Structure 1
Amino acid sequence: MKLFGFTSFDELLAYNCAPVLAGIKPANLLSLMPDDAEEIDALLVQYNAQFAERGIVFRRLCACTKRVLILVYNEEQLAQALRNPGYQAYLIAAGYEAGASAEAYLHRLEQRLNTQKTFPHEIGVFLGYPLEDILGFVLNKGTDCKYSGYWKVYGDVPKARSIFAAYEHFRDIILQKLATGMSLKVAVATL
């Protein structure tokens, strides 16, 4: 499996998904190579079993010739985020059913990822991005942001920088624990 310079899949997950694993973000998206699809499916089974007690799910959203997209999410936090009235209004405007379950929203996102020619911008809702930044991205077609980090910021830059710093803090802690030989499951359990 292509690990993009990381020494293990645990390390790749820690680097890309630490905020979810640490419980401070509802979801992260991981893009992997399509030629690793069978191995990815086996890993998803393994990681879902390891992290089930923490409510963390590893879900393949789509697979195409260019990539396999995995959504790593905290079930409870994602469900809570999707109940936010602002997010709800945005999702309804994007064609999602009003008041649907988190599972129904995820299923609709999968459909859109697999059938649309363009990437659905509402994925920012699932990833916990501020609504003003999602709207700013769409309105400005991804240009003219005030700041760029884990997402393009069009609204509150100081707040975004603080959030980004928290994400990096937990990423660094988990990676340090992995460097000592801990498994990802144990490293996350010790946070």
Structure 2
Amino acid sequence: MARRDQPTVTERLAQERRISIARKAMEIFVADGDTSATVERIAEAAGVTPRTFHRHFAAKEDVVLPIFRASWEAVIEALAKAPESGDLVEALVAVWTSEFPDGRLSDFDRAFLKLMVTTPQYRLRWLEADDDLYEAVADLLRRRISLEGDPLLQTLPAYLIVHATRHVFDRWLTSETDEDLVDMLRRAFRITLAGVGVL
């Protein structure tokens, strides 16, 4: 049976509904400064019933997954399109900031992500992307540098880059640092790649 690449109209509409509900939840969480809003409140703001909410999300915390998935997909796409020459560190920085206007995260998005990384049940949803990201980073590295020989060296840089990225975002979101996110990413990627002998 041939693999279907395009979603059906029903699947597309369901995804649009999930994203719409997720955005309302995001707005409420940021306005409240916490994630305590009930399913009923989120559903009402999104113009759906709690039953419809639960048709799309098994648990309240899953409401953020469409936002995270869209972000992960954008990063994976940016990794696939990253240039195959030039400064690898700058290419990685460009990938992880590709969704931000002018490479900067808005105050609203920063407030939302801070809630996500500091609330355990939401943090778990944020971390779900790692498996998909590892392979996409590994593909970029295979195109850019020779990682032949030791099987560990073929995969370790990708894992370290994903973890370094998560660590930078975590630190930048939860500390009172004035350091620029782009500069932090740049520094982390240089340290990581130098540590495995890639730079």
Q: Normalising to structure 2: TM-score of the pair?
A: 0.28
Q: Normalising to structure 1: TM-score of the pair?
A: 0.29
Q: Which has the higher contact order (CA 8 A, sep 6+)?
A: 1
- Flag the structure with larger Rg: 2
Structure whose residues are more often helix by fraction = 2
